[in-house]
Amino acid sequence: MNGILVPISMFLGTFAMVFGIRYLSNKEKMAMIERGMDPRLNRASVPKPYLSLKFGLLMVGVGLGLLVALFTVRGVFCGSMTDAEEGQAVAIYFGFVGIFGGLGLITSFLIEKKAIEKDYKV
């Protein structure tokens, strides 16, 4: 009995979610038309010029984090590792990925901020 209820409830939930999103989107567009606004000029269609820079620096940061974590694990845990040491190695990998990914995003922010300040000075 439970085997058939799960797919049915998933289908109904997905249908309700899609219907609700479309309904609310239509309602929002109608409200914009009533106020004299153009619904096609939505903020979602505005280009994001630094998005590729942000993701590029994030991926570089993640790659550097994995590389530094690899060298750190090999340097600290030379030879064979016990189960506890393998758990610590996994934590090192996740830690370095987070640190260097965050540094990539911070670098992206600083580059964007510098470019925006340069545009406003002119």
pLDDT at 18: 95
| Whether residue 45 has pLDDT greater than 60 | no
pLDDT at 7: 86
Mark whether 57 and 39 lie in a shared domain: no
| Whether residue 108 has pLDDT greater than 80 | yes
Residue with tokens 């820079």: 53
Q: What is the mean pLDDT of the chain?
A: 84
Mean pLDDT of 89-116: 88
Mark whether 29 and 84 lie in a shared domain: no
- CB 111 within 8 Å of CB 53: yes
Q: How many domains does the chain have?
A: 2
Q: In 3D, which of 96, 98, 51 has the Cα closest to residue 73?
A: 96
Domain that holds residue 69: 47-121
Mark whether 63 and 104 lie in a shared domain: yes
Determine the Cα angle at 39 with ends 37 and 43, to 5°.
Answer: 100
For the stretch 50-60, pLDDT in tens is 888 888 888 88
The pTM score is 0.55
Mark whether 59 and 112 lie in a shared domain: yes
Mark whether 57 and 82 lie in a shared domain: yes
Q: In 3D, which of 97, 98, 77 has the Cα closest to residue 87?
A: 77
Mark whether 58 and 35 lie in a shared domain: no
Percentage of the chain modeled with pLDDT above 90: 20
